[in-house]
């Protein structure tokens, strides 16, 4: 029996294999205990990774961070490339004082690009950690809900909306499988029960 490559099994376990390759692999895995065990090992490893990822600094969405870094780097490189092109043209065509002028502008363009990258990075990673409502795993179909003692939260396409519970009060969480979660606590000031809910 010809077995799929290990990399294909890994992609299959994560649901990242293409349609036809996935179909072929699925048929094989259904018959082959060895490959099925391999797929299960990949699935388990993925779960462990997700669990450990949950312990990353709270509020840190690594996917967003990576995408942002890539975009900033690309922007900086493009700006640098354009600036170099302009400088090169002027070195050939322009008089001496123009060369100096564009050299300064090129440096300024590069500096601005660098400023964008550094500012974006600094603001993202240095923001105060204010919540433990963190979910690193991407939500299924773009929207997910999370309930912890700190509050209830709905996440969608990079945005998040959370109703917070006071840290000093015990919180009772209740979940409804139709897609909603409640966090219930007694407000220390009013003595009233407050029930926060998010749903999709």
Partner 1 sequence: MSRSKYICAFLLVVGMSTALAADDRPLIKIQLPKDSPVTMVSSDLGDSKATPRGGAMEIELHTALALRNSGSHRIRGVTLLVLAQEVTPGGKGSVSLPNLNVAPGDDFLIKIDLRLLRPLAAGAGPMVRVLLDGVLFDDLSFFGENRLNSRRMMTQWELEARRDRKHFRQVLEARGAEGLQKDILESMARQAERPRVDVKMARNSPATTTEAGRQVQFSFLRFPDSPVEPHDGMARVNGNEARAPSLEVLNRGDRAVKFLEIGWIIRDRQGRDFMAGTVPADLKLAPGQSSRVLEGTSLQFSAKPGQPVEIESMFGFVKSVEFADGTEWIPARAALADPRIAKLVPVSPEEQRLTELYRRKGIAALVEELKK
Residues 33-92 that bind partner 1 (CB under 8 A): 36, 39-40, 43, 47, 51-52, 54-55, 59, 64-65, 68, 75, 79, 82-83, 86
**Calpha distance 161→192 (Å, rounded):** 24
Contacts of 168 (CB under 8 A, 6+ apart): 188
**Calpha distance 45→42 (Å, rounded):** 5
The reply on whether position 144 binds partner 1 by CB under 8 A is: yes
Nearest approach in angstroms of CB 200 to partner 1 is 5
**Calpha distance 200→178 (Å, rounded):** 9
Give the 3-state DSSP-derived string for 45-111, with helices as H, strands as E and coil as C.
HHHHHHHHHCCCCCCCCHHHHHHHHHHHHHHHHHHHHHHHHHHHHHHHHCCHHHHHHHHHHHHHHHH
Q: Which is nearer to partner 1, 1 or 123 (CB)?
A: 123
Nearest approach in angstroms of CB 181 to partner 1 is 6
What number of chain residues touch partner 1 (CB under 8 A)? 101
* Among 23, 66, 91, 143, interactor with partner 1 by CB under 8 A: 143
The reply on whether position 148 binds partner 1 by CB under 8 A is: yes
Tokens of 191: 């003595």
Nearest approach in angstroms of CB 98 to partner 1 is 11
Query: Partners of 153 in the beta sheet?
Result: 146, 162
The reply on whether position 7 binds partner 1 by CB under 8 A is: no
Nearest approach in angstroms of CB 96 to partner 1 is 18
- Write the interaction track for partner 1 spanning residues 92-111; mark x where CB under 8 A is met and - where it is not: ----------x--xx-xx--
* Among 15, 19, 21, 27, interactor with partner 1 by CB under 8 A: 15
């Amino acid at each position: 029996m010809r077995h799929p490559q290990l990399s294909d099994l890994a992609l299959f376990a994560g649901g990242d294999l293409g349609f036809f390759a996935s179909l072929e692999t699925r048929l094989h895995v259904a018959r082959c205990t060895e490959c099925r065990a391999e797929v299960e090992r990949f699935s388990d490893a993925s779960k462990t990774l997700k669990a450990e990822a949950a312990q990353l600094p709270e509020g840190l969405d690594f996917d967003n961070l990576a995408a942002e870094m890539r975009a900033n780097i690309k922007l900086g490189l493009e700006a640098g490339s354009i600036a170099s092109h302009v400088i090169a043209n002027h070195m050939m065509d322009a008089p001496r004082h123009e060369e100096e002028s564009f050299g300064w502008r090129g440096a300024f363009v590069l500096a601005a690009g660098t400023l964008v990258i550094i500012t974006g990075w600094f603001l993202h990673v240095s923001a105060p950690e204010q919540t433990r409502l963190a979910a690193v795993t991407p939500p299924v179909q773009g929207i997910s809900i999370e309930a912890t003692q700190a509050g209830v939260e709905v996440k969608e396409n990079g945005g998040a909306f959370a109703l917070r519970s006071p840290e000093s009060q015990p919180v009772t969480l209740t979940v409804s499988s139709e897609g909603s979660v409640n966090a219930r606590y007694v407000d220390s000031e009013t003595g009233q029960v407050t029930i926060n809910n998010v749903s999709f």
